[in-house]
Structure 1
Amino acid sequence: MKFSKLALRNVKKSYKDYFVYFMTLMFSVCLFYTFNSFSSQEQVLNLSTSQSTVLKTVGQFMNVLSVFVAIVLAFLILYANNFLIRRRKQEFGIYMLLGMPKRDISRILVYETMAVGFLSLLSGLLLGGLCSQLLGVFSAGMLQVSMSFRLMFSIPSAITTIVSFTVIFVIIMLLNTRVIAKVKLIDLLQSKKKMEKARIRRPWVSVLVLLISLTLLGTAYYLATSSLQTFAVMLVPILMIGGIGTILFFMSLSGFLLQFIRFSKRTYYRNLHMVVLRQINAKISSASTSMGIVCLMLLLAIGALSCGFSLQHSLVDSVDQTTPYMYTYMQDENISEKDMKQLLSLQEVKRWNKVNVYTEKETLKTILPLMEGYDTDKLYAGAPLEYISLSEYNTAMEAQGNKPVSIDSREAFFISAKDDILDALTTAGEEHKLIAVYGQKLKLVNAQKTSSFLCTSPMPEIMLALVVPDAIVQSQAIDRTYWNIDLASEAQTSAYQTRVEKNFTDYAKQTGMQDYRYSGTTRDEVRESSLGSGMLFVYIGLYLGIVFLVSSAAVLALQQLSDADDSKSNYDILRKIGTPQRMIDHSILGQIAIYFMLPLSLAIVHAMVGVPVVSGAFSFLFGLQNMWKTNLMTAGVVLLIYGTYFLITYYGYRMAVQGPKHKQKKLSD
Structure 2
Amino acid sequence: MTLLELSLKNVRRNLGLYTIYGISMVIGIMIFFSFSSVMYNPDILDALENAQNFQTGFLIGSSVIVLFVVLFILYANSFFIRQRKKELGMYMLYGMKERHLLLMLLYETLALGAAALLAGGLLGGLLSKIFGALLMNLMKYDQAISLDYPVQAIIATLAVFVVLIAAAAIQSYLLIARVQLVDLFRAKEITEKPIRTSAVLAVLAVLLLGTSLFIVGSGKQSAFWSDHAGASLIYCSIGIVAGTYLFFRQFAGWLLQQWSRSKRYYGGNTTLWTSSIRFQIRGNTLNLTFISLFSTMLILLMCFVSINYSVQFEAVGRNLPNDLAYESKSAAVDSEVKKAIEASDHGILTSRTLELLRSEPVTDPAIAFENPEYYAPGVLLVSAADYNAVVAARGDKQQVSLSGDEAVSLSQGMDFPEALPGSGAAFQVRVLSDGASKSHESNGSNASTKESKASNESHAATFKVVEKKDYALLGWSTDPVTSMVKKPAVLVIADGEYDRLSQESQASASNSASISTFRIYNLADAANAEALSRELHAIVTGQSDTYYSSFADVYSRQIEGSSLLLFSSAFLALIALFSLASVIYFKQLREATEARRQYAILRKLGVGRREMMSVIRKQLLFVFALPLLPGLLSSWLIIKTYILDSVQDFPNLKGMVWGIMALYFLIYAGFYLVSTNIYYRIANRTA
TM-score under structure 2 normalisation? 0.78
State whether structure 2 residue 240 is matched by structure 1 residue 214. no
2:62 is aligned to 66
Shift of 1:63: 1.0
| Residues 205-214 or 113-122, more deviating | 205-214
Q: State how far apart, in whole Å, the 1-side matches of 2:576 and 2:309 are.
A: 20
Q: SS in structure 2 opposite 1:193?
A: coil
CA–CA distance in 2 between the matches of 1:480 and 1:604?
53
**1:409 aligned counterpart, secondary structure:** coil
Aligned partners of 2:297, 2:575: CA distance in 1, in Å?
10
Give the corresponding residue for 2:37.
Answer: 37
**Comparing 467-476 with 58-67, which one deviates more in the overlay?**
467-476
Q: How does 1:242-261 map to 2 (within 5 A)?
A: 242-261=240-259
Q: Cα distance 1:523–1:440, how it changes in 2: closer, same or farther (>3 A)?
A: closer
Return the alpha-carbon distance in structure 2 between the equivalents of residues 274 and 260 of structure 1.
13
Q: After TM superposition, give the deviation of residue 450 of structure 1 in Å.
A: 7.9
**Aligned amino acid, residue 279 of structure 1:** S
Please name the residue that 2:402 is paired with: 407
Within 5 A, what are the aligned runs for 1:62-101? 62-101=58-97
Residue pair 1:389, 1:473 contacting (<8 A) in 2 also: no
The answer for the alignment partner of 2:605 in structure 1 is 577
Q: Pairwise mapping of residues 311-326 of structure 1 onto structure 2 (< 5 A)?
A: 311-326=308-323
TM-score, scaled relative to structure 1: 0.80
1:633 positional shift: 5.0
- 2:475 corresponds, among 446, 455, 463, to 455
- Structure index of larger Rg: 2
Contact 1:209 1:252 in 2 (8 A): no
CA RMSD of aligned residues (A): 4.0
Residues in 1 aligned to 2:184 and 2:529: alpha-carbon distance in whole angstroms: 75
- Of residues 503, 513, 516, the one that matches 2:539 is 503
Aligned partner (choices 122, 131, 140) of residue 135 of structure 1? 131
Contact map agreement 2:72 2:579 (CA 8 A) in 1: yes
Other-structure match for 2:657: 631
- The residue number in structure 2 matching 1:114 is 110
Cα deviations by residue, 1:219-241 (Å, 9 ceiling, x for unpaired): 76368844479658965664344
8 Å CA contact retained: 1:353, 1:395: no
Going from structure 1 to structure 2, the CA distance change for 1:218 and 1:383 (only over 3 Å counts) comes to: same
Deviation at 1:102, TM superposition (A): 3.0
Cα deviations by residue, 1:56-89 (Å, 9 ceiling, x for unpaired): 4223211123223322332232222222222222
Query: Hey, what's the Cα distance between the residues in 1 that align with 2:45 and 2:213?
Result: 49
CA distance in 1, matches of 2:685, 2:534: 78
1:531 corresponds in structure 2 to: 559
Partner of 2:452: none
Give yes or no for contact 2:219–2:642 (8 Å, CA) kept in 1: no
Instruction: Report deviation, 1:576.
Output: 0.8
Report deviation, 1:167.
Answer: 1.2
Task: Give how far 1:292 is off.
Answer: 1.6
Q: CA deviation at 1:396?
A: 2.9
Shift of 1:499: 4.8
Q: Is the 8 A contact 1:306 1:628 kept in 2?
A: no
Choose which of 387, 402, 405 in structure 2 pairs with 1:393: 387
1:165-180 mapped onto 2 (5 Å cutoff): 165-180=161-176
Q: Is the CA contact (8 Å cut-off) linking 2:31 and 2:124 kept in structure 1? A: yes
Alignment of 1:449-528 (within 5 A): 451-455=471-475, 466-469=491-494, 470-471=498-499, 474=502, 483-486=519-522, 497=533, 499-504=535-540, 507-508=542-543, 520-528=548-556
Q: Deviations along 1:555-597, whole A, 9 cap, x unmatched?
A: 2222221111111111111111111112212322332333222
Q: CA offsets, 1:164-192, max 9 Å, x none? A: 13212212112213432332111112223
Aligned pair 1:22/2:16, yes or no? no
Cα distance 1:492–1:380, how it changes in 2: closer, same or farther (>3 A)? closer
Query: Deviation digits for residues 140-162 of structure 1, max 9, x if unmatched?
Result: 21222223353222231132122
- SS of aligned partner of 2:191: coil
Matched, 1:540 2:568: yes
The number of aligned residues is 626
When residues 489 and 314 of structure 1 are mapped into structure 2, their CA distance, relative to the original with a 3 A threshold, is: closer
AA of the residue aligned to 2:636: M
Structure 2's unaligned 5+ residue stretches are 343-347, 430-459, 506-512
More deviation, 276-285/610-619: 610-619
Per-residue CA deviations over 1:520-569 (Å, capped at 9, x if unaligned) read 45444443333212212212321332233223232222222111111111
Q: For 1:72 and 1:495, how far apart are their aligned partners in 2?
A: 40
- Cα distance per residue 1:355-398 (max 9 Å; x no partner): 64754143465369xxxxxxxxxx53777795632244234324
**Separation in structure 2 between the aligned mates of residue 271 and residue 463 of structure 1, nearest angstrom:** 72
Q: Deviations over 1:449-485 (max 9, x none)?
A: 8855543778797698542131576478989986422
Structure 1 residues 22 and 492, CA gap change in structure 2 (3 angstroms): closer
Aligned with 2:96: secondary structure?
coil
Judge conservation of contact 1:308–1:537 (CA < 8 Å) in 2.
Answer: yes
Percentage of identical aligned residues: 23
Range with bigger deviation, 605-614 or 347-356: 347-356
Three-state SS of the structure 2 residue aligned to 1:53 is coil
Are positions 1:568 and 2:564 aligned together?
no
Does the 8 A contact of 1:411 with 1:468 survive in 2? yes
The structural deviation recorded for 1:312 is 0.9
Which runs of 5 or more residues in structure 1 are unaligned?
369-378, 664-669
Q: Which moved more, 1:353-362 or 1:169-178?
A: 353-362
Superposed counterparts of 1:335-414, under 5 Å: 336=329, 341=334, 344-345=337-338, 351-354=351-354, 356=356, 358-363=359-364, 365-366=366-367, 379-380=370-371, 388-390=381-383, 391-401=385-395, 405-414=400-409
Which range moves more in the overlay, 117-126 or 138-147?
Answer: 117-126
CA distance in 1: counterparts of 2:527 and 2:106, whole angstroms: 63
In the alignment, the residues of structure 2 paired with residue 59 and residue 492 of structure 1 have an alpha-carbon distance, to the nearest angstrom, of: 21
Distance 2:31 2:389 in 1: 52
User: C-alpha displacement at 1:20, in angstroms?
Assistant: 4.5
The one-letter amino acid paired with 2:536 is V
Aligned partner of 1:195: which letter?
T
Counterpart of 2:678 in structure 1 is 652
Does the aligned pair in 2 maintain the 1:216–1:242 contact within 8 Å?
Answer: no
Q: CA deviation at 1:629?
A: 4.4
